[in-house]
Structure 1
Amino acid sequence: MGFQQGLSGLNASAKNLDVIGHNIANSNTTGFKSSRTEFAAMVASAVGTAGGINSGIGVEVGAIAQQFNQGNLTVTGNSLDVAINGNGFFTLQMPDGSRGYTRDGSFKLDTFGNVVTNSGAKVMGYPTDPDTGLRTSSTASPLTFPTSAPIPAKQTTKISAAFNLDARAPDAAGNPAATPPVPATPRSTYGTSINVYDSQGVATAVNLYFEKTANPNEWNVYDSLDPAAPSRGTITFDGDGKITGPAPTPPATGFQLPLQIDPSLNNPNAGPTAPNAPNPFTVTLSLDNVTQFGTKFAVSELTQDGYTSGQLTGINIGDDGVILTRYSNGVTRAEGQVVLASFRNTQGLAAMGGNTWVETYESGQPTFGAPTDGNFGSLRAGALEDSNVDLTAELVNMMTAQRAYQANAQTIKTQDQVMSTLVNLR
């Protein structure tokens, strides 16, 4: 009798409708990956009957296969929304401490500054050097930002300068005996200024003035307009206008000039009578890009590496996963790099709900890396990956599954009529 075949067909069709309904229900779920039902025929066999006639005993669901093709990217404008364009999964530390994976990049910041998913899982990343953005470790850890307290102040250690000193400038002392007389050049003629920061983040202005000496291609450096102030060093040039001094003190490289900074000039907490006061410190003036050409004095770069404390004001995630944070003190620095995971067999991943998967024996162990490295995809900040469900196709599949269910029910009805006919034989 064919009741078994019809019943298996009903079960398989019902399972297919469950899968289609699940896909349709998640057609707007961020990062969702659709599934499809794969059927397999069931055949009863016995030893020695390989050449016989076997009509089969129905159908079974061979597998429910996930489809990990790329979903469309929708721009949201939210800086913490991140989409993966290509291969890879975001790596998560689940609330129970286990590891999970997702394509849903709708991240949030919790009260402790952790980057988390909607289900509370922490997003993993590599630590980076704040200044260069280069990875400092290959061990991933939860990404955390200083939201509960400002970043501490950083004392200035280096000033980078790029400027040109006018090769036509006369001796600053002047020459009243010359015809016509050459007046003295005010020290402020060639000068510039920049703020540096002590260990408490208090700014102190550093003034730099340059005076041409009587020696060719030589300039003295001062930090005060006081005529009695001593020179802080001498800059020398060759005949092509390229800098030749001051020579660096080993093991330093490049042309550098040390400047002594007294924080008590601006910081009321500094000074010899203040307990635990910020100490005077040395700032290195880098002069590698200083020239002496026959054009006007002009400063093209004057930067320093210190800053006062600052609150987090913005976050930007690059294509390579490096997270740049902006602070109220004007500082932008790298706070980490998003880590991605890939698998040899993505269809072997087990779905756990909440847009997350976990690894299984079938998926294999994950391979970790940074976005754009190797076969990993790139990130798109301010965007989310849509569900890859094709709603039109799912509606057509649903109609087909419905017809298959009705047809299997009809076979049971027909078998029932046949059996009724046999029972009623006289």
Structure 2
Amino acid sequence: MSFNTAITGLKAASTMLDVTGNNIANVSTTGFKSSRTEFADIYATAVVGAGSSNSPGSGVTVAGISQDFSAGTIEFTNNNLDLAINGSGFFQLSDGQGSTTYSRAGAFELNKEGQIVSKTGKFLQGYGLDADGNRLPIGNLEVSQKESPPKATESIDLSFNIDDRADSSTLLPEYNKDEPGSFTYTTTVRSFDSLGNEQTVKFNFAEQRPVRQQYAYDVTGLTNFTISGVTLDSVTDFVAGELVDNPPDNKRSALAAVDPRIDLNSIRYDGTELSFELKAAETDTGGMRVTDTSAPLIPTVEQKRDANEVRTYDLAFTGSPAGTIEIGGVTVPITAGQTHTEIAQAIKTREPQILDRNPDIEAIFINDDGVNPPQVEIRFKADVGEVAANRYQPIISNTVAAAQIDFGTATASGVASAIADPDEHVVGDNSYQGKYRLYGYLNNEELLDLGKLQDPGAGSETEPGPILISFNPRSGLLDGINVFGSDGSFTPGTQVPAITISGADPANPLTEIRLDLTNSTQFASASIVKNQQQDGYTKGDLIGVTFAPTGEMVASFSNGQNQSLGVVAFATFENQDGLRPAGDTEWIATLESGNAILNPPGTGLNGTLRSAALEQANVDLSTELVNLIQAQRNFQASSKTLETANNITQNILNI
């Protein structure tokens, strides 16, 4: 009996030596999991008397060799196809013949077909992705895209600041894309056509100048004519030469709705000529047409005037009275016997005081041809806009009884005083402030269609040309895109309407680009680009593959694009201790382990994926060396037991 007991001890110690030696031998094996020898004692039992305390035992047996699935140290490499699992899970591998194994060794490579394989040639399993990024059933992961096809630019995000300090009045009167002095700011964005050719889209921003467009048409003999699609009756729609609302048609209101660019108060008709002005914010006619029954009319006058308000007063009076004329709080004394010209010059000499006291006034002019009565012309700054009628009107007073002063329509006699009304009044208009005409050019040559309407009220047809964008002159924030009257306006801070660019893809005329100007401003600081992005690119070749922590396999191309080609699948088991080793640092699922549960990395209890990293063996070398000593000691002790039993037996035989 003692011989058998000693032999079981020798066998157990030998097995422990084998397991320990195997651990030590694989200390540098990627993904290796160390094993541990587990022992159990042997007792000989019988049906009758089983479990007697007098049984000495029959030795030791190896109850099992269990593996330690704790994680090993992760070391980083220079190969993106080296993968490590940080946490729970196994790579699923297929040999292509129906056999599936599981491993923690992530030293993968590409085969000639672009498939990701282990060092033994087995295929790494994962989810494929369709064109919309949805996961497909589990299969071999492969780099299916060797090149990235070109993509035409379809979206441009552009934000900028235009210096509010720039003076639009200094711009050249006529816009010219090749003359920088005719626009305020310019910037160029790179784009790509459908074939991957690089193009450029240049944007010029021309701030509206403080002017109003004037038009006049010869309508002699016409009883009806049309402005922007609204037909006007020369008899019923005009009173004293001004356009009025005459029910039931209300043509004035109809024209205001169809083409709000026209200043309705400026429309005049005298039986032979039709004239009108555009608001200062609208210097582009954009398809505006004046026609008779069918044919467009050509303007006989097409010019511009300053948008400044101008008030003109005739110095016409009887006698030579004494008194005062007060303009903007500055008093000009008039002595008896002064001539018209002398009074006008007296006013001119007070101009510095008037301007100093009244910052809204730009200048005072004296118009005196020596024949007609002199005129006093008060010109206001353009940015003031329309000045209230009760401001800056001259106050005339007279201290000479029975004398008469006629200053425009105002009169005064005795010690009375009066406020003079202007003989001529040009309306002020500062609606140009913060308004810019935006031009777009393909490669600085071809004028692009940015959404400019062909004909007001004629539908959605557009044509190449400028559109109007606007900034709030008080806050400097963008508040209008493709502004047409009130259309296109929005509250700063809300969603900015996009601009649709057509014709910027020479390879495909159907391509449209969405231009987003969100966060653009007009502050008193240098004009700069704050953000500039576009989504087009040229053709690219594959330059590498990387993996995200969540398992996405991402292909990188020479055109700077990345494309997700699949997702690595991680396998977990209800009982991973039940896995059976299959060699090459791989395991096979068994009944004890249960079937593999497959999910992407980072989901559920799965660990995450590390690219360019390998998991080292979890062997503790110092522990294994101690185990060697312990196994050797056990072997020596069992040998001694065998030797002692042999000596006892020999002694018995010698009796």
Q: TM-score range by the shorter chain?
A: 0.7 to 0.9
Distance 1:98 1:232 in 2: 67
Q: Please identify, of 344-353 and 413-422, the stretch whose mean Cα deviation from structure 2 is larger.
A: 413-422
Shift of 1:299: 1.2
Task: Name the structure 1 match of 2:61.
Answer: 60
- SS at 2:640 equivalent: helix
1:355 aligns with 2:353: no
- SS at 1:46 equivalent: coil
Change (3 A) 1:103 1:135: farther
User: How many equivalent pairs are there?
Assistant: 398
- SS at 2:582 equivalent: strand
State, as a whole percentage, how many aligned pairs show the same letter. 36
Shift of 1:389: 1.0
Shift of 1:173: 8.8
- SS at 1:204 equivalent: strand
1:82 aligns with 2:80: no
Change (3 A) 1:28 1:226: closer
TM-score normalised by the chain length of structure 1: 0.82
**In the alignment, is the contact (CA less than 8 A) between 1:172 and 1:212 conserved in 2?**
no
Distance 1:198 1:364 in 2: 55
Give the letter aligned to residue 289 of structure 1: N
Task: Name the structure 1 match of 2:35.
Answer: 35
Shift of 1:136: 2.9
- SS at 1:80 equivalent: coil
Distance 1:189 1:57 in 2: 102
- SS at 1:45 equivalent: coil
Distance 1:340 1:303 in 2: 37
Distance 1:287 1:395 in 2: 70
Matches within 5 A, 1:26-425: 26-49=26-49, 50-127=51-128, 136-137=134-135, 139-146=137-144, 149-171=146-168, 174=171, 186=181, 189-213=184-208, 214-215=280-281, 216-224=433-441, 230-238=464-472, 239-240=474-475, 241-246=477-482, 254-261=496-503, 263-264=505-506, 270=507, 278-425=508-655
Distance 1:341 1:289 in 2: 47
Distance 2:93 2:619 in 1: 24
Distance 1:174 1:324 in 2: 52
**In the alignment, is the contact (CA less than 8 A) between 2:110 and 2:117 conserved in 1?**
yes
- SS at 1:145 equivalent: coil
Shift of 1:171: 4.4
**In the alignment, is the contact (CA less than 8 A) between 1:76 and 1:383 conserved in 2?**
yes
Over residues 153-193 of structure 1, what are the superposed CA-to-partner deviations in whole Å (9 max), with x where a residue is unaligned? 222221122222334445489487xxxxxxx9645642222
Shift of 1:262: 5.0
Distance 2:206 2:82 in 1: 54
Q: Please identify, of 407-416 and 380-389, the stretch whose mean Cα deviation from structure 2 is larger.
A: 407-416
Change (3 A) 1:396 1:185: closer
**In the alignment, is the contact (CA less than 8 A) between 1:243 and 1:291 conserved in 2?**
no
Shift of 1:348: 1.7
Over residues 77-113 of structure 1, what are the superposed CA-to-partner deviations in whole Å (9 max), with x where a residue is unaligned? 3332232232222333334344332222222122222
- CA RMSD in angstroms comes to 3.1
Give the letter aligned to residue 160 of structure 2: F
Distance 2:180 2:633 in 1: 98
Give the letter aligned to residue 107 of structure 1: F
Distance 1:187 1:101 in 2: 71
**In the alignment, is the contact (CA less than 8 A) between 2:171 and 2:181 conserved in 1?**
no
Shift of 1:232: 5.0
Shift of 1:314: 3.1
Distance 2:531 2:564 in 1: 23
Task: Name the structure 1 match of 2:17.
Answer: 17
- SS at 1:105 equivalent: coil
Change (3 A) 1:83 1:62: same
Task: Name the structure 2 match of 1:181.
Answer: none
Shift of 1:37: 0.5
Give the letter aligned to residue 437 of structure 2: N
Distance 2:643 2:520 in 1: 95
Change (3 A) 1:232 1:122: farther
Distance 1:30 1:221 in 2: 62
Shift of 1:126: 4.0
Distance 1:170 1:84 in 2: 63
**In the alignment, is the contact (CA less than 8 A) between 1:126 and 1:135 conserved in 2?**
no
Give the letter aligned to residue 257 of structure 1: I
Distance 1:99 1:237 in 2: 66
**In the alignment, is the contact (CA less than 8 A) between 2:85 and 2:607 conserved in 1?**
yes
**In the alignment, is the contact (CA less than 8 A) between 1:129 and 1:334 conserved in 2?**
no
Change (3 A) 1:52 1:6: same
Distance 1:2 1:203 in 2: 90
**In the alignment, is the contact (CA less than 8 A) between 1:174 and 1:185 conserved in 2?**
no
**In the alignment, is the contact (CA less than 8 A) between 2:503 and 2:509 conserved in 1?**
no
Shift of 1:394: 1.3
**In the alignment, is the contact (CA less than 8 A) between 1:16 and 1:401 conserved in 2?**
yes
**In the alignment, is the contact (CA less than 8 A) between 1:243 and 1:288 conserved in 2?**
no
Over residues 12-64 of structure 1, what are the superposed CA-to-partner deviations in whole Å (9 max), with x where a residue is unaligned? 22222221121111011011110011011111212341344111122111111
TM-score normalised by the chain length of structure 2: 0.55
Over residues 241-271 of structure 1, what are the superposed CA-to-partner deviations in whole Å (9 max), with x where a residue is unaligned? 13443459xxxx852111123544xxxxx5x
Distance 2:632 2:118 in 1: 37
Give the letter aligned to residue 385 of structure 1: E
**In the alignment, is the contact (CA less than 8 A) between 2:500 and 2:514 conserved in 1?**
yes
Change (3 A) 1:287 1:414: same
| Rg larger in structure | 2
Task: Name the structure 1 match of 2:455.
Answer: none
**In the alignment, is the contact (CA less than 8 A) between 1:172 and 1:185 conserved in 2?**
no
- SS at 1:31 equivalent: coil
Change (3 A) 1:244 1:44: farther
- SS at 1:389 equivalent: coil
Structure 2 gaps, min length 5: 174-178, 209-279, 282-432, 449-463, 483-487, 490-494
Give the letter aligned to residue 470 of structure 2: T
Change (3 A) 1:98 1:288: farther
Distance 2:570 2:57 in 1: 47
Distance 1:143 1:312 in 2: 16
Change (3 A) 1:303 1:349: same
Distance 1:145 1:352 in 2: 28
Task: Name the structure 2 match of 1:5.
Answer: 5
- SS at 1:223 equivalent: strand
Distance 1:187 1:115 in 2: 60
Task: Name the structure 1 match of 2:418.
Answer: none
Give the letter aligned to residue 11 of structure 1: K
Over residues 378-398 of structure 1, what are the superposed CA-to-partner deviations in whole Å (9 max), with x where a residue is unaligned? 333332221111122212212
